Structure 1
Amino acid sequence: MQITLTTPALLFPAISLLLLAYTNRFLAIATLIRQLHKSYLADPKSVLEGQLKNLRKRLFLIRAMQLFGLMSLLLCVLAMFFIYLKVGDWGSAIFGISLVLLLLSLIISIREIQLSTKALDLELSDMELGSKLKF
C-alpha cells in the first residue's frame, strides 16, 4: 500500500483534539484531588480509601493516554519525514505503529471513563443512602 505525505497528516487534527480532551480530563481530576485534599485537611475521616485508589488509577491511566497519544503524534511526524525523504516503506511502518499507539490510547481512555463513571456512581449511592437515613 502506498502512503502519501498527506495520509499521516490527516491524523493531526484528530490527535490534537484528543490530546485536548485528555488534558481537560487531567485538569478535572487535578481539581477534584485538590478539593479532596482540602476536605481531608479539614476532616481526615472524610476521605474514603476507595476514592483515593480510584483517583490514583485514573491519574495513571490519564498519564498513559497522554503518553500514547503524544507518541502517536510524534510517530506521525516521523512517518511524514520518512515519506518526504522517499523512504516510503519506513514511513508506512512508522505510520502503522503510530496507529497502534493511537488505538492503545483510545482503549485506555475507555477504561478511564469506566473508572470515572464508577466513582460517580459511588458518590450517587452515598447521597441516596444519606437521603434515606434522614427520612
Structure 2
Amino acid sequence: MNELTLTTPALLFSAISLIMLAYTNRFLAYAAVIRNLHDKYLEQMDDSLIEQIKNLKLRLNLTRWMQIFGISSLLLCVLTMFLIYIDYYTFAVWVFGLALILLILSLTLLIKEIQISAKALSLHLSDIESHLKKK
C-alpha cells in the first residue's frame, strides 16, 4: 500500500503557490482592464463595450473561483499534514484526496478561462484584419 507522508502534501506547496501567483496576476490584469473600460464607457457610452465588459466579468468570476479552489486545496494540504502529524492517517488520506480534486477543479477552470481569453483576442484580431482589408 502506498503511504502518505508529511512530504507528499508539502510537495504541492510550491506548485500551488506558483499557480496562485499566476491567478493573482490575471486577476490584477483584469481589474486594470475593467477600470479602463469603465472609464471609456462613461466617456463614450458605446454599446460595443458592453460585450467586452460581460466577457471580462465572466473571466473575472472564473479567476475568482480558480483562486478559491486553489487556496482551498492548499488549506487542505496543510490540514492533511496536521492529520498525519496527529496520526489520523485514514482521514488524512481522504482530506488529501479532496485537496487534489479542488486543485483539479481550479486547473480545469483555468483551461476554460484561457479558452474564453483566446476567443476574445481572436475577435479583436479579426476586427483589425477586416479593417485592414477595407483599406
TM-score of the alignment, normalized to the shorter chain, above 0.5: yes
Q: Which residue does the alignment assign to 2:30?
A: 29
Cα contact 2:37–2:49 (8 A) shared by 1? no
CA distance in 1, matches of 2:4, 2:11: 12
TM-score computed with the length of structure 1 as normaliser: 0.94
In 2, the alpha carbon distance for the partners of 1:74 and 1:11 equals 11
Following TM superposition, by how much is the alpha carbon of 1:105 offset from its aligned partner in structure 2, in angstroms? 0.2
User: Structure 2 stretches of 5 or more lacking a match?
Assistant: none
Q: For residues 31-56 of structure 1, give each alpha carbon's deviation from its aligned partner in whole angstroms, at most 9, with x where no partner exists.
A: 11111112112211164332122111
Query: In 2, Cα distance between the equivalents of 1:30 and 1:117?
Result: 18
2-structure distance, mates of 1:81, 1:64: 25
Aligned positions of 1:39-50 closer than 5 A: 39-45=40-46, 47-50=48-51
Three-state SS of the structure 2 residue aligned to 1:123 is helix
Aligned residue type for 2:114:
I
2:129 — aligned with what? 128
Provide TM-score, normalisation by structure 2. 0.94
| 1:71 equivalent in structure 2 | 72
Correspondence for 1:117: 118
Using the alignment, how far apart are the partners of 2:3 and 2:46 within structure 1?
61
State the distance in 1 between where 2:133 and 2:45 align. Answer: 25
- Secondary structure at the aligned position of 2:3 is classed as coil
**Structure 1 residue runs of 4+, over 4 Å off?**
none
Distance 2:59 2:112 in 1: 9
1:6-17 alignment to 2 at 5 Å? 6-17=7-18
Question: In 2, Cα distance between the equivalents of 1:8 and 1:102?
Answer: 12
SS in 1 for 2:46: helix
Q: Which residue number corresponds to residue 100 of structure 2?
A: 99
Aligned length: 134
Q: Distance in 2 between matches of 1:65 and 1:43?
A: 33
Q: Is the 8 A contact 2:72 2:102 kept in 1?
A: yes
| Residues 37-46 or 56-65, more deviating | 37-46
